[in-house]
């Protein structure tokens, strides 16, 4: 008998009975959706107002980019100082990743200038021109080809920072290794190579082929982690930049490039040609870097940041004040000022992270719940939709983020798009499962009461499936909080920014400034949705203690 079944008894525990209670739950669910959408609208309005104010300002806007290693960040700060001194409103998009991300951003206008290296320009950026037979060997040829792409290349900044292979001095001396060709005799050594070096045309594969090095003992890692690997003897060889401060600090031996494989990597400024017409004073100010920095000074600035723990903004500004007799205001290095910077960073990254999670999750809820309902109605549709969102979920987060860059560029939009796709699976799957698990007897009872399909969905199926749906949303929220940290790689900000900087500077406190708040936000999200479930779900459907 239906009225003797456990499910029937649980349903009758609801107060009032299903249809009336369902209306109440549905109203509250709509309230929550309205709150989320209102929050999104407020955040978007604030962003729009900020953008409008910046556009209304008479100051020209200058966007500087830098790669994810200390020398590039310092040079980016140096360009930022020069731009501000020339009257520009500067935004420094730091630690954006590898060459291709910055080059594509420069071409698309998402940044106006950044520092790159002649070897990289020849081997990576203009590789397509070389394949078409266009000469790009000399700097004048590179400059001409870049001008054809509306990009200006400065004269040399003053130092050559080429690639090299490095080992600990004591290990190299014990094994009698002085040249790269000596590595052929030691296939047992562990290599720790940066991901970009592994893939470059002037990187590991071609180097190993030229020198006849045969080994499979290679680990791919972040460039900055390679030094830590050498110190702890987890690896014996890594790729280094010849101006890195760690060479002297860790007493490393730079192996002689006896076959002259590595090209020269003179630092140069790459700048959009239209900057000269938009802001000629700013463009001229940036060109002051030509011939400004010798290898010793560059290595010294890197050492001040990586080894002495000084702020990149301070180091770059202090250099300009000394070298060009500028009068830049520098950030204070006192303990109180450092704590204020930490507090400001925490507030800024929290708002950025919350924005990424809230917007992507809200959009996913609006899309995924209808997908789940549609899947529950049609098994063929379910096979297709669940299959697609499952495949998306298996994609590495970094790969999915890179896929979004050509569509949306840099900043929060591609990060939100990637997080949106990651949020779909748990919500779609739980909505589908929640509706499909409703007993047939309950469905039939609703039909007997004369409810049409829309009314059954609104008054019976969604209220009964609500615990499962909220569980999926809770899972998606926690996933989003953790995954959103990768947004820092493309200038989206959030808790990933201090984590990336901490990895670059080998600073555990900086890493914790991103990791601990991210973990706290994930726990808070789980708790908040747990409380929401208690508010929205009928008592008869809540887990029984």
Nearest to 64 by CA among 100, 115, 111, 117: 111
Q: What is the pLDDT of residue 50?
A: 52
**Same domain membership, residue 126 and residue 176:** no
Residue 37 near residue 264 (C-beta atoms within 8 A)? no
Q: What is the pLDDT of residue 193?
A: 92
Cα torsion at 332, 336, 338, 339 (round to 10°)?
-150
For residue 304, give the CATH number of its domain.
3.40.190.10
For residue 386, give the CATH number of its domain.
1.10.3720.10
Q: How confident is the model at residue 446 (pLDDT cuts 50, 70, 90)?
A: low
Mean of pLDDT values over 29-42: 49
Residues 86 and 68: their CA atoms lie apart, in Å, by: 26
Residues 497 and 514: their CA atoms lie apart, in Å, by: 7
Q: What is the pLDDT of residue 444?
A: 67
- For 12-171, strand residue ranges (E) read 61-65, 89-93, 113-117, 151-160, 163-168
Residues 106 and 65: their CA atoms lie apart, in Å, by: 8
Residue 26 pLDDT > 60: no
**Same domain membership, residue 172 and residue 140:** no
Order of strands across the sheet that contains 89-93: 89-93, 61-65, 113-117, 266-272, 151-160
Is position 36 within any domain?
Answer: yes
List C-alpha distances in Å: 35 to 42, 161, 405, 462. Answer: 10, 53, 30, 19
Is position 39 within any domain?
Answer: yes
Residue 148 pLDDT > 90: yes
- Give the tens place of pLDDT for each residue, 262-305: 888 999 999 999 999 999 999 999 999 999 999 989 999 999 98
Is position 113 within any domain?
Answer: yes
Mean pLDDT for the chain overall: 83
**Same domain membership, residue 477 and residue 465:** yes
Q: What is the pLDDT of residue 43?
A: 54
The widest CA-to-CA distance across the chain, in whole angstroms, is 92
Q: Which of 72-81, 426-435, 504-513, 535-544 has the lowest mean pLDDT?
A: 535-544
User: Which residue has better confidence, 112 or 129?
Assistant: 112
- Tell which of 201, 228, 254 closes a domain: 254
Is position 260 within any domain?
Answer: no
- Give the tens place of pLDDT for each residue, 115-126: 999 989 988 899
**Same domain membership, residue 247 and residue 220:** yes
Q: Which of 136-145, 257-266, 450-459, 493-502 has the lowest mean pLDDT?
A: 450-459
Residue 514 pLDDT > 70: yes
For residue 213, give the CATH number of its domain.
3.40.190.120
Q: What is the pLDDT of residue 308?
A: 84
Mean of pLDDT values over 35-52: 50
**Same domain membership, residue 67 and residue 130:** yes
**Same domain membership, residue 230 and residue 356:** no
**Same domain membership, residue 492 and residue 395:** yes
Q: For residue 280, what are the domain limits?
A: 59-161+265-333
Q: What is the pLDDT of residue 419?
A: 92
**Same domain membership, residue 192 and residue 249:** yes
Is position 64 within any domain?
Answer: yes
Q: What are phi and psi of 201, to 5 degrees?
A: -65, -30
Residue 502 pLDDT > 60: yes
**Same domain membership, residue 523 and residue 450:** yes
Q: Which of 90-104, 432-446, 517-531 has the lowest mean pLDDT?
A: 432-446
Q: What is the pLDDT of residue 333?
A: 67
Q: How many domains does the chain have?
A: 3
- Give the tens place of pLDDT for each residue, 164-212: 999 999 999 999 999 999 999 999 999 999 888 887 877 898 999 999 9
Cα–Cα–Cα angle for 148, 150, 154, rounded to 5 degrees = 95
- Tell which of 299, 333, 367 closes a domain: 333
Residues 494 and 355: their CA atoms lie apart, in Å, by: 9
**Same domain membership, residue 178 and residue 149:** no
Q: What are the DSSP calls for 166-192, one per residue?
A: EEEHHHHHHHT--BGGGGGG-TT--EE
**458: which 2 tokens?**
């609104």
Residue 111 pLDDT > 90: yes
Is position 384 within any domain?
Answer: yes
Q: What is the pLDDT of residue 56?
A: 42
User: Which residue has better confidence, 181 or 442?
Assistant: 181
Residues 340 and 413: their CA atoms lie apart, in Å, by: 29
Sign of the Cα pseudo-torsion (302, 306, 308, 311, in order): positive
**Same domain membership, residue 476 and residue 412:** yes
User: Which residue has better confidence, 117 or 458?
Assistant: 117
Q: What is the pLDDT of residue 376?
A: 85
- Give the tens place of pLDDT for each residue, 321-373: 999 988 888 777 666 777 888 888 899 999 999 999 999 999 999 999 999 98
Most confident of 151-155, 330-334, 378-382, 386-390: 151-155
Q: What is the pLDDT of residue 401?
A: 82
Residue 14 pLDDT > 50: no
pTM of the model: 0.75
DSSP 544: P
């Amino acid at each position: 008998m239906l009225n003797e079944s456990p499910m029937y008894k649980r349903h009758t525990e609801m107060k009032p009975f299903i249809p009336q209670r369902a209306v109440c739950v549905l109203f509250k669910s709509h309230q929550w959706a309205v709150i989320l959408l209102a929050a999104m609208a407020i955040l978007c309005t604030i962003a729009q107002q900020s953008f409008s104010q910046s556009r209304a300002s008479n100051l020209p806007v200058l966007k500087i980019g830098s790669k994810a290693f200390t020398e590039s960040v310092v040079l980016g700060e140096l360009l930022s100082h020069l731009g501000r001194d020339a009257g520009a409103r500067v935004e420094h998009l730091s630690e954006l990743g590898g060459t291709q991300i910055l080059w594509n951003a420069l071409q698309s206008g998402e940044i106006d200038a950044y520092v790159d290296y002649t070897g990289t320009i020849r081997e990576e950026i203009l590789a397509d021109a070389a394949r078409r037979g266009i000469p790009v060997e000399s700097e004048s040829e590179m400059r001409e080809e870049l001008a054809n792409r509306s990009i200006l290349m400065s004269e040399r900044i003053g130092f050559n920072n080429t690639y090299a292979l490095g080992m600990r001095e004591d290990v190299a001396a014990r094994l009698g290794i002085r040249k790269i060709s000596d590595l052929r005799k030691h296939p047992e050594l562990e290599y720790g190579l940066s991901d970009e070096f592994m893939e470059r045309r002037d990187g590991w594969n071609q180097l190993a082929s030229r020198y006849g090095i045969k080994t499979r003992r290679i680990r791919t890692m972040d460039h900055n982690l390679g030094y830590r690997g050498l110190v702890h003897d987890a690896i014996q060889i890594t790729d280094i930049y010849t101006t890195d401060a760690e060479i002297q600090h860790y007493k490393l031996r730079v192996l002689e490039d006896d076959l002259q494989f590595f090209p020269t990597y003179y630092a140069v400024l790459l700048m959009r040609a239209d900057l000269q017409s938009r802001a000629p004073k700013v463009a001229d100010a940036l060109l002051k870097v030509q011939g400004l920095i010798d290898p010793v000074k560059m290595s010294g600035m890197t050492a001040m940041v990586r080894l002495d723990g000084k702020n990149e903004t301070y180091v770059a500004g202090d250099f300009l004040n000394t070298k060009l007799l500028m009068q830049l205001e520098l950030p204070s290095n006192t303990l109180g000022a450092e704590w204020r910077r930490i507090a400001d960073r925490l507030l800024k990254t929290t708002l950025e992270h919350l924005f990424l999670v809230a917007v992507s999750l809200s959009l996913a809820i609006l899309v995924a719940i209808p997908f789940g309902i549609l899947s529950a109605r049609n098994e063929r549709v379910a096979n297709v939709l669940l299959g697609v969102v499952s495949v998306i979920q298996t994609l590495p987060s970094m790969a999915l983020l890179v896929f979004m860059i050509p569509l949306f560029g840099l900043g929060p939009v591609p990060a939100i798009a990637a997080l949106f796709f990651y949020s779909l699976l748990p919500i779609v799957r739980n909505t589908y499962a929640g509706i499909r698990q409703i007993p047939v007897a309950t469905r039939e009872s609703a039909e007997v009461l004369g409810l049409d399909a829309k009314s059954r969905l609104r008054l019976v199926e969604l209220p009964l499936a609500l615990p499962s749906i909220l569980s999926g949303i809770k899972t998606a929220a926690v996933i989003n909080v953790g995954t959103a940290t990768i947004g820092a790689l493309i200038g989206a900000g959030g808790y990933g920014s201090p984590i990336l900087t901490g990895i670059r500077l080998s600073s555990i406190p900086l890493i914790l400034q991103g990791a601990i708040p991210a973990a706290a936000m994930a726990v808070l999200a789980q708790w908040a949705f747990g409380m929401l479930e208690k508010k929205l779900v009928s008592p008869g459907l809540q887990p029984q203690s």
